[in-house]
Every structure is written in C-alpha cells, then in structure tokens.
Amino acid sequence: MEMQVQSDEQRVTMRGADMVIHTLKQLGVDTVFGYPGGAILPIYDALYQSGVRHVLTRHEQAAIHAAEGYARATGRTGTVLATSGPGATNLVTGIADAYMDSVPLVVITGQVASPLIGTDAFQEVDVIGITAPVTKYSFQARTAEELPRLLMEAYHIASTGRPGPVLIDIPKDIASTVCPYPAAVPVERHIELTVPEPDAEQLEQIRHLIAQSRRPLLYIGGGVVSGEASEELRQFAQATGIPVCSTLMGLGAFPPDHPLFLGMLGMHGTYAANMAVTHCDLLLAFGVRFDDRVTGKLERFSPQSTKVHIDIDPSEIGKIVSVDVSLVCDVKKALQELVVQPPVTPDCGEWRQQVREWAQEYPLSFTQEQDRGLKPQFVIDLLTRMTDSNAIVTTEVGQHQMWSAHFYRAKEPRTFITSGGLGTMGFGFPAAMGAQIGKPESTVVCVAGDASFQMNLQELQTIAEGNIPIKVFIINNRFLGMVRQWQEMFYENRLSESQISGPDFVKVAEAFGVKGLRAATLADAGRVMQEALAHPGPVVVDFMVEESENVFPMVPPGKANSELVLKGWEE
Amino acid sequence: MEHTFLLTVNNHPATFLRVMGVYSRRGLLIDSMTINRGAAPDVSDVSITVQCDSRMAENLIKQLEKQMDVIQVRNGSDKSLAS
Ligand SMILES: Cc1ncc(C[n+]2csc(CCOP(=O)(O)OP(=O)(O)O)c2C)c(N)n1
C-alpha cells in the first residue's frame, strides 16, 4: 500500500484504491470474490498482500453467485470485484438474482478514467444504467476522498431493511488519485436507513383476528430466513397451534418434521399446503411477497381468508393481493411481540385434523423399484438420510431443484440455498463454493441438473485450486427436464430443443483434478454417495437417473392452487 | 384516470433513471413532467403526470418511496399543484 504520513498535517495519504481496501478491512470484510482487469488494476494492486482473501473464479458470473452463496449461508454481506465493460456485464445476472432474492451484496466495478466516460472508450459500459433496475442502490465515485464514505453507505444499504445488491463504480483515475484519508473515521453517512418498530395497534388487530379464526394458516417465506426469525416462528406456531406452509425461499425456517408443517405451497407445493391455503379463513403471510409461483390464478388465491401481511418492505404491501391488516417491520420483532403477548389460542382443532388428513391423503412420495433405474427423488432422499439434513444444500434450477425442495428436508435456516426469484441456471455450483468458504466446517452439497452444471462448470478449476471441498451431485437425466415436462404437459409433447447431451462428467472432473464418481444403479448410489461425502476434498458425482420422471404435484400455469395435478401418485 | 406525483429527490446522476424506471417498466407513458431546483442544494422538485388507476397509483407511490434518492412523494391529484 502506498501510504505515507505527512509530517505537517499528520494525515495519512494513500491512493483511492488503498482507501477501498482499507475501508473493507475496517468493515470486517475478510473475503472477496472477483476477477481483475484493466480498469480495476489499482484496486487489485491495493489488494495485493493486504490480508483480504480474494477468491479468483474463472468467470465473473461465478464470482457473484459465489458471493451470493456466501451471503445466503452466513447472513453476512457478500463482496464482489470486477473490471469495467465485459467484467461488469458478466455480473448482471448475479446482481438481478440477488435483487430478486434480497441477498445483501456490495459489487465494486472498475470504470474507465473519468475524462473518458461517455466516449465509448475501450471497455466502457454504463454499468450504473444497465443495473439500475436490479440494484437497491448504486454509486459512481467522483473523488477519492469520498470512497470510504461510499463503501460504508454501500454496506449499510445492502444489509439494512430488505437486503439487496449495491453497486459502486470506481473510475480508474479516482482509484489512482493519492489524497489524505478522510479525517473523520468512521465517516459520517449521508444515507441512513431505519426500520419501523411493529405498531402496537396493528399487532392487537392481528391478535384479535387470530383469536376469532377457526382455520388459520401461516404462509412464511424468505423474509423469515433473512430476518433470522425462525426461532420466534417456531415458538409462535407452537403456542397457537397454527399450521405452517412455506415458500421455496422459506424452506429451512421451520422444522420439516414438525406436526404443524405442511411443506411448500404453490406450483410444486404439497396437496396439504395448497388445500390449506385455499380453505383457510385467516392467512398470516409473514416475510413473503405473493409470488405468482405461489398464488396460482390470483383471483382464486385463498378466496375465503382474511389476510394479514407482515413485511419489512412497504412496497410489498398490497402489491399483488389486497390485505386486511398489514404491518411494516422486522418480522422477527413482530413475532417476538406475538410470542411475549400471545393471542387467545384459536379454537382450530378441527382444522388441524382436516389439514392432517390432507397431508396423509397425498404425501410427497415416489417409488423406487429395486430392478429399475435410479429415480432422481431417491437420490435426494438418500442425501437427506446420509447427512441427516446437517448439510448445506445449494441447487441449480429445474426439476432437480423442485425434488430437492421436496425431499431434502432442510431443518435449519440458510441450509437450503436456491435461486428462487430469478431461477438462474448456473447459480448453484458457484453458490456452493461461496457457501463453503463462508461455512468451512459444513458439508456443502450442490444438487445440479446436468444442463445447469454445464453453465458454470469452468469453476471446477477454482475448487480444485483452492481445495474447496464441495460435493456436486449431478442428477443426470440427459434433458432440460423442466422444459421437457412443460412441453409434455402443455405443448403436445413436441420436445423442441429440450434433449441435451453432456460430456463424461467423471472425466471432466478428473481433468480438472477433482475426484469424479458415477452411480447408475440403486446399489451404486448408496456406496458412491457415502464415498463422496467421506472424501475430504471436492467431488463430482454423476448420478445417472431415469430420464422420464416429472415433478408432481403441479398447479398448471393459470390454474388455481386447488386444481393441482397429482399425477405422480396415481402411477 | 390522471394522477400527478409530486416528488422531492436527491439530484444524483442516476436518480431520474431510477424514477423513470418505476414508470417505464410498468408500460406507463408520461403525460407531463417538470423538474425544478428544490429548496435545498442537490435537491429537486419533480412533478410527473400519468394515466393509471388508483390501485396502480398507490403501488407507484410505494415503489417511488422505496428509491433511496426519493425523499418524499405526494399524490397531487389536485391538478393545480402539478405545474
Ligand atoms: C439461465 C437460464 N436459462 C434458461 C432457463 C430455463 N430453464 C429452466 S429449467 C431448465 C432446464 C434445466 O435442466 P437441468 O439443469 O438439466 O435440470 P432438470 O430440469 O433436468 O432437473 C431451463 C432450460 C433458466 N432457468 N435459466
């Protein structure tokens, strides 16, 4: 670091780039994910031998998904570095992914030197313009002195209220300018966010509605995970006896084996959850956003219920569904209030009985015949049994993602990591790297589709080089399975471009210096999975599964949740 | 129905990009828009008029308030305030 003390003023001077690294260290950032290039060279120079760990991925998209995995697994803000132009545009998918799933990230991009901005200079793109719709906020630095403040604001904004990605674009000349480090450290912030406390009157209304209800239902989501409110949720459900269903993003926030848990609701939700949401008289929507994959046909979503919505983001209230009572606050605080001062326990024994019957009538299930090919569900169920759900599981996107949601019974928050809002193929593998770096003691498994894995498999080099011991379990059906399922069901089985080949994944892994294994039979599956989980380093396992399997239940697009197709059980 | 939104915003380079994005991604056309220097330095007063229903207008206000550089939004349905 170029740093010198001026004798007259006793002020430390350094380059803007050094201020960036200095501030990151002050903020306790110990790991960054990134990829260097021309415009960000000063910052990489300041990073050199700074003590901040840098994970060099093989593609910027993987760097940002890794930072997301780190953030989703730990709750801490993820940090990304990339150069201008193509480096910055390669981040866009990850920024959008983090925005949709409310993941706290600070993304630092290099930019061409200030005098060149707006001239179509080499590797110049308007990254602020490109990413404005998918960032919570963004800054372009105009002086070196303001860099420490911008960074502090960026981390504050990314992690306060509803979390999200914040971008800082730093022109190369600003990063290279030497000037005194601002005197007041920590520098005063220009932007300060606050979150309202739960309103006592609205809490009282909610208590009243609960006490009156005969068929109440909790519909919980990612807000409970990111709000660290799962313990309070468990206490509240326990105290009131209200059944719980979860969105994809909420999985892990409530114990899957709890008698009140009905599983996931929505398009690939359980029969019990979808029937319960259709028939409840009070819907307690906590930390959710009424996504279309959850509601099905909106006009027929939960038609009989009074609706209560608690969320930290005021713009979510009434966005999709008009609600009767809303509360804008931290869901953890609201639940704490409702636990400390509980409502009169609702008289809902009959309802609980009804819900239990639905759950028993059509539980999630599959049949694995001894002498037939491997079922994908069996592989994931095996993972649950072999790890006792003590692993962190990340998924790619497609059928295997839904089977993971069904059969990997995540029992702790932040142990089921998936791209929910954007549905990004290529997310799961790099996210697993980031999760493993954030949680070095955990077993981290990426459940991947054979096609999704091909979107970022260059990262095998990153895990080989860094000995990042993640386990990649490929559910290999030789298809874009989810695409094929829709073509079978809604496009008269016209399988347009949904069959996809792949390389020999075992050989590919080995070529990168990663252990590769394959299982094609029932007997192999157990033995190979055990070997993979016991291996101290990274492993790729190619599970060759039956290619024709589809995901059920399914609420067909445009249909109501009560019209779910149960076909899976009838076979 | 005509709705006029009166905003006070921090005048940063990306502020208008974000504010316009709230309207454009919902396919709304802007009937009229004025921007004036506000009372404080670096602050602007903005008035934007669009055609939409009241539910959308409510939604737009929340989306605008969510923008970090939007200090205040008022629904100036009283048209005399607009210009
Ligand atoms: C980047 C990206 N491109 C396209 C899609 C659309 N898509 C959703 S699922 C899917 C198929 C995924 O195939 P695979 O990874 O093999 O998983 P499977 O469904 O077979 O389990 C596709 C193409 C997507 N979600 N993301």
Q: Give bridge partners of residue A4 from the DSSP assignment.
A: A13
Q: Is the CB of A479 under 6 A from ligand 1?
A: yes
CA distance linking residue A400 with residue A414, whole number of Å: 19
Question: Strand A539-544's sheet: what is its strand order?
Answer: A416-417, A392-395, A444-449, A471-476, A539-544, A515-519
Q: Is residue B56 part of a domain?
A: yes
From B21, B25, B59, residue closest to A319, measured CB to CB: B59
Per-residue pLDDT of chain A (571 residues; tens, 9 = 90+): 444 444 445 678 999 999 999 999 999 999 999 999 999 999 999 999 999 999 999 999 999 999 999 999 999 999 999 999 999 999 999 999 999 999 999 999 999 999 999 999 999 999 999 999 999 999 999 999 999 999 999 999 999 999 999 999 999 999 999 999 887 655 556 677 889 999 999 999 999 999 999 999 999 999 999 999 999 999 999 999 999 999 999 999 999 999 999 999 999 999 999 999 999 999 999 999 999 999 999 999 999 999 999 999 999 999 999 999 999 999 999 999 999 999 999 999 999 999 999 999 999 999 999 888 999 999 999 999 999 999 999 999 999 999 999 999 999 999 999 999 999 999 999 999 999 999 999 999 999 999 999 999 999 999 999 999 999 999 999 999 999 999 999 999 999 999 999 999 999 999 999 999 999 999 999 999 999 999 999 999 999 999 999 999 999 999 999 999 997 544 4
Q: How far is A264 from chain B (nearest CA, A)?
A: 28
Distance A69 CA to ligand 1 centre (A): 19
Closest CA to A48 of A20, A13, A88, A84: A20
Q: Is residue B18 part of a domain?
A: yes
Contact status, residue A564 vs residue A555, Cβ threshold 8 Å:
yes
What is the value of ipTM here, to two decimals?
0.92
Q: Which domains does chain A have, with CATH numbers?
A: 13-180 (3.40.50.970), 200-361 (3.40.50.1220), 376-552 (3.40.50.970)
Strands (E), B11-82: 30-37, 43-51, 70-75
The values of phi and psi at residue A335, to 5°, are: -65, -40
The structure tokens listed for A194 are 């606050």
3-state SS string for A416-438: EECCCCCCCCCCHHHHHHHHHHH
Q: What is the pLDDT of residues A99-119, one digit of tens each?
A: 999 999 999 999 999 999 999
**Subunit contact A318:B66, Cβ cutoff 8 A:** no
Q: Is the CB of A381 under 6 A from ligand 1?
A: no
From B17, B21, B65, residue closest to A314, measured CB to CB: B65
From B21, B66, B68, residue closest to A133, measured CB to CB: B21
Helices (H), A305-449: 331-340, 349-361, 376-387, 399-407, 428-438
Distance A113 CA to ligand 1 centre (A): 39
Q: Which residue has the tokens 């702790």?
A: A412
Q: What angle do CA A225, A234, A283 make, to 5 degrees?
A: 80
For residue A481, give the amino acid letter. Answer: G
Site to substitute for ligand 1 among A397, A424, A454, A478, most atoms within 8 A of C-beta: A397
CA distance linking residue A253 with residue A231, whole number of Å: 8
> What is the value of pTM for the model shown?
0.96
Q: Is residue B83 part of a domain?
A: no
Contact status, residue B5 vs residue B73, Cβ threshold 8 Å:
yes
Pairing relationship of beta strands B43-51 and B70-75 according to DSSP bridges: unpaired
**pLDDT at res. A570:** 45
Distance A145 CA to ligand 1 centre (A): 45
Sort out which chain A residues have CB atoms less than 8 A from B58's CB and list them: 318
Q: What is the pLDDT of residues A90-103, one digit of tens each?
A: 999 999 999 999 99
For residue A166, give the amino acid letter. Answer: V
Enclosing domain of residue B28:
2-78
The average pLDDT across B37-50 equals 93
**pLDDT at res. A184:** 63
For residue B18, what is the domain's CATH number? 3.30.70.260
Q: What is the pLDDT of residues B14-34, one digit of tens each?
A: 999 999 999 999 999 999 999
Active site residues of A: 60, 122-123, 172, 482
Contact status, residue A264 vs residue A248, Cβ threshold 8 Å:
yes
**pLDDT at res. A272:** 98
Give chain A's end-to-end CA distance (angstroms, integer).
67
What's CA A301's distance to the chain center, in Å?
25
Q: What is the pLDDT of residues A237-255, one digit of tens each?
A: 999 999 999 999 999 999 9
Q: Is the CB of A475 under 6 A from ligand 1?
A: yes
Q: Which residue has the tokens 């049949």?
A: A367
CA distance linking residue A300 with residue A298, whole number of Å: 5
The structure tokens listed for A501 are 């080949």
Q: Which atom of ligand 1 is nearest to the CA of A454?
A: 15
Kindly list the residues of chain A whose beta carbon comes within 8 Å of any beta carbon in chain B. 128-129, 132-133, 136-138, 140, 157, 191, 313-315, 317-319
Number of separate domains in chain B: 1
